[in-house]
Every structure is written in structure tokens, then in C-alpha cells.
Chains A and B, each alone.
Chain A
């Protein structure tokens, strides 16, 4: 009887969480990185993970890479043991699409752990990624603790990076200090993901 009840509760729980939800386990996935190696999200359990949606042709992405803001975050938190994945969900033939060969060039100028290639857009749709950039932070237990924009100033102007409040850095700092994340979600801004 107990096992039936447990099965019922378990299936109810899994049925209810198709879309990513704050405070719930981040949906697991496996994608190939730039060298063709499969990368599974749940293999990073025990570490913080950042998922960053990327399209090199998008001016909003260029705003954060041109000012080295994004690479700075990747480097700073990478040094603290955070696993940072840059994900490309652009469809083949659309802006921002990368072949593994392209991606192995691009990764050299970044400090993320890997570029994950999602040309079918499956992981993008799984996470409901809308814009580039769009960021998700997963804690050591695999729980989704932040989703949304990179900061609080939705603009394409590189000058705004200096004055904006960076939500991803704040979420990581707070969570690493054992504190609750004060802004767990925000509106993602940027170009639409080119599914």
C-alpha cells in the first residue's frame, strides 16, 4: 500500500513540473559540447551551474561580450568552482548557429566550461529560453535558484553594463554564502532565440 502511495505521489510530482520552476530540480538534459563530448547537467551535482543562452550575432550578447562583462563573470565564478555552460539553440541556417568547429574557435575567447550545441532547440524549449542572453542558475543540489535576464537594465547600450545590477552575480554570491537569493527571477531581455 505504501509503495502504491509513493508511486502515486511521485508521478503527481513529476507530472506537475514540465516547465522549469524556481526551487524545483532543474530539468536534466544531455548535449554535445564543442568537441562532440556529451555533457549531462546532472553530472555537475555538487557544484553550482550557470546556463547562458548565446547568439554571437545578437547585439545584446555583443554588449556583454564586447565589454568583457560576460567573460569576467565566467572567469570569476569559474575560479570559485561554478560550472558555466554557454548554450547555442540557434537552428542551422539561422543567426548564431555554430558547428562544433565554430564552437571550438569561439570557446577560446570565453571562460565558460563548454559551449553546448542545441541546434534542434530541444533544451532551449525545455527551459523556455526566450532571449539571448537568458540565464539560469542551478545550485549544488540541482535546484533551479535563478532564471531571467543578466541584469536589471534591458538595453543594447554597452555603457549600461557599468551601472546595472547584475542578477546572476548576486544570485551566485548569495547562494554561495548560504543565503536565499533576493531576486530569483527577472524578465529576460535580448534578441529572440533563433529556433
Chain B
């Protein structure tokens, strides 16, 4: 029986007859032509997830831009049909050996002993002209984000593909593509166990442009620092939002009456701790399999109802109608512990506001490793607490504000307006949550993974809008950009789907996670026969129209 296996394992491989090799020579240089049978392919210098690069001995082969060859979860880089590989060959050598691996569903090593033919001179010279040339302006840079490397390209290239030269450094599968008005981001995922490279080199393929060699250093850490800075700035901005500004204003007027430096630290600690507790709790719930993203706080009718009631109460309180909220908010004026509590309170009112404005960014943070997500939320908290903390710890600055007086009562009355507006908005979200459907537009089909798959299989360009009633940037994009007649006309040429995440939905949540998100908005275009292209969170009509147009080319 042993002989049975050995017979199988030692059997001469099926004859390598699926690829025909010819070596041409012209003016001192050569070119190896490989002609593949249908469905068979050979490999690029970096074969990708599996395979082996073609070799010529003696000699050195150059390689034109490859194509992606996808087999289930694995992706290789190589050639099908006819390919001509330029060859540097020594003079006065009569015979050369070409070796390659040819694969269809199965793989067979191929080998040919070749005598160079001095014919087809144009084939040789054209092959040499097709070698990708170095282009120093194509890439703006590359940066590391955990186990991913982001290659940033100048210009908008939704169909761009990048093939890294280093074998085994990255996964072969095409990573996420994100287009912005003037640049494109391509994502590469590091192969497990592969070392971190210091530079990224490879071939960039953009439709309509010749393939280019790109080589850029990979910046580390800079992006993480940038994210923290952005989160801090986001926190600062949060203070100006209608739900938070009145609380901050009240706290500051409290300071005017009873100044004290001790409040700064306690208030900051309250804000940061609350954000960390929220993020930490959410990370744990997600790790335990709960289908939650940033926006979860507005996906329960009970929470939305309670928040609406809270904002009405604060509004009434600001009008001077009753006194419950003030006590809660001005506790901080008396003790450090109270300032901590009002920091917590600030986050309670701010959290719903982060979902409409910063849902996508914070959702992205949640999909990162835990420490990174927590760092982002801590920076957000520091930013949120900063204005008050600075005022409290620098009494001199308080001197710049008017003296306490009658104006404060007027200010409170004015501040009640954003509170009531927020409450109204929450009531609208509640109304949508308890089942009132959005006005139906026949252009927008209801999203499901199956429907998208079917639409893509039918060869149409597919646009998907991941949205939610409580997401303000989603609403703005839909009203200002996606409902324009010219945009609707462009979308109608393909198929448009809307995935409404107003309510919890594990299927939408899973799809968001596939794109590295845990929040909305998310806009995805699937070009005809191509992979997903992500659009930025703030759309412009030009960007949508041009991306759809570019993808049609």
C-alpha cells in the first residue's frame, strides 16, 4: 500500500503543456514570450498568496504589470493569455532554460530549453517599453496603521490597483480603496508574521495611465498621532454643538460666581472617565458578540425618549420654570466631586450629539485595536473638557468675561432654544424608530447583501448608502447631494441601495465591520465587475458624479 502513495507522490507531474515559451533576441536584449492556454496562468516577480515567479537562466527577467488572480480566499499576481517578459541575457550563450509554475485549478512546474530567435524585433522592443517606469509624483506617501499600510495617491483613481514587489509582505487580496476629491487611499494588509517594511515598492496600475513603479518610505506612528489630534479637535468642537454648549455656558457662569482652580481637574477627569467607560463598555459588548456600533445610544426608543425628556427638562429649567437640572449641572461649583459629576453629565448630553456628527470617525476608532480606540476616546474627552478646564485654571481669563448680572438670565433663556431643538430632533428620531417609514423614493432599493450581490452579478454599477435617521451628516448628504436631479439620474443608470441603520441591525453592522467601520455614514460604489470603492463621509455632487463617471470608463 505504501507504494500506492509513493506512486501518487512520485508520479511525474502532468505534462507542462499549457504554456508555450519562446525566447526572442533583438539588439543585444531578449524577451521571453509565454502564451497560456485559457484558464492557465504564470506568476509575477511577487506571486502573491501562492505561486512561483518565472525564471530564466542564464539571464534576468523584467516584468510588466501583473493582474490579480483570485481563487477563493487566496489571491495571486500573474499573467494569462499572452505575456512578453523582457530579458537581460548574456551574449554568446546558445541555450537558455526558462522555468515557471503554471496553474489553473491545479499547478504544474513548467520548463523549456530555448534557443533565442533573432526575429519579431518589434515584439522585443515593445516589451521593453512596457516595463513600469518610476513615477515619483504618483504617490503622496505611505503610512502604517497597525497591521495595515495605507498608500496615498495623488488624484482620484477609484479603480487603482497596487502590486507590492516584496514577496510575502502583504496579503494578495485587493484592499479597501477610498476616494476623496483630490486623492485616493489604497489599503494593504500585512501578511501574518511578515516583518514591518520601512518602504513600500511596487507597481501602480491606474486605468488610462501607463503602469508606474512607486517607491515611498512608510511613515509609522504619524497617523496615530494625527488621529489623536483630530479626536482632540473633535472634542473641542463638541462644546459648540447645540446639546453641549448650554451646559458649558452654565458651567462657566457658575465659575464667574464661584471661581476655583480645583474644578478643572475634577471636571476633566469626569469627562474623560465617562468617555472611556462608554467606549470600554462598547468594546467589551462588541467582543462578546453584541451588534453595536457608535450610534447605539440612539437605536433604542427608550433611550431616545429619555434623552428627549432630559433635554426638554434642561430647556424648561433654563427658562427658569423649575430647578432640578441646575442643581445637577452646578453641583461642580461647590466641590471637586461635584465637578466630576458635571463632567459625567456633560458626556451624557454630548454622547447623542457625537453620533450624528462624528459617528463614522468614532465608529472607525471602535474597529481598531482596543488600546487605540481608548486612546482616541481619551483624546476626545480631553478636547471636550479643555475649554472649561482652561477657564477654571486661569482665573485671569474669567476677568475677560462680563461681570455676573442680569445678562446671565437672558443668556439662559436663549440657551434653552438649542435644548428644545435637540429635544425636537430626538422626538423625530423616536418617531422614525417606532416604525414611521422614511418617504419612499423608487430610486432607492432596500439594501441586503443578497440584493447587492445579485445587482453586481447583473453587471450594473451599484451604489450603497449606509445611513440613519439620527445621523446628521447622512441627512445632509442625502438632502444636499444625493437628491439632486443630476446625481439621481447618474444613480438611476445603475442600482442604488439604502441600508437604514436607524434601528439596530446585525446584518448592516456586519457589513459595516467588513469595511472596517462601526458607524454611519458609509458610501460604497461597486463598479461594474470591480471591487468596492469607498467615498468620504462628506459628499459633494461633483465627487459622486465624477466617481460614477470614472468607474464607467
Contact = CB atoms under 8 A, between A and B. Distances in A.
A115 B285 CA distance: 38
A58 to B, nearest CB: 6
A11 B288 contact: yes
B74 A187 contact: no
Nearest to B110: A156
A15 interface: yes
B168 A66 contact: no
A95 B283 contact: no
A54 to B, nearest CB: 10
Interface stretch (A18-26, A34-42, A72-80): A18-26
Interface size class of A (residues with CB under 8 A): 35 or more
B80 interface: no
Interface residues of B, number: 41
A22 to B, nearest CB: 6
Contacts of B284: 7-8, 11-12
Interface in B278-308: 280, 283-284, 286-288
Given A108-B1, A194-B105, A66 B49 contact: no
Contacts of A190: 50
B4 interface: yes
A94 B106 CA distance: 9
A59 B109 CA distance: 7
B1 A109 contact: yes
B9 A62 contact: yes
B90 interface: no
B280 A187 contact: no
Contacts of A185: 192-194
Contacts of A16: 369-370
A156 B283 contact: no
A156 B101 contact: yes
A119 interface: no
Contacts of B287: 11-12, 14-15
A37 B191 CA distance: 33
Contact of B107 (A15, A59, A108): A59
Contacts of B74: 130, 192-193, 195
Given A109-B1, A155-B52, A191 B106 contact: yes
B52 A154 contact: yes
Contacts of A161: none
Contacts of B9: 56, 61-62, 65-66, 109
A138 interface: no
Contacts of A156: 52, 101, 109
A193 B387 CA distance: 57
B10 interface: yes
A15, A16, A22, A94: which has the most chain B beta carbons within 10 Å?
A: A15
Interface in A157-195: 157, 184-195
B4 A109 contact: yes
Nearest to B374: A12
Nearest to B109: A156
B193 A59 contact: no
A128 interface: yes
Interface in B102-139: 103, 105-109
A81 interface: no
Contacts of B71: 192, 195
Given A7-B284, A12-B283, A60-B107, 17 more contacts: A12-B287, A15-B286, A20-B192, A58-B107, A59-B107, A62-B11, A66-B9, A108-B5, A109-B4, A110-B5, A156-B101, A185-B192, A185-B193, A186-B193, A187-B194, A188-B50, A192-B107
Interface of A: 7-8, 11-12, 14-16, 19-22, 56-62, 65-66, 94-95, 105-106, 108-110, 121, 125, 128, 130-131, 147-148, 154-157, 184-195
A-B pairs, top 4 by smallest CB distance, nearest first, are A187-B168, A185-B193, A109-B5, A15-B287
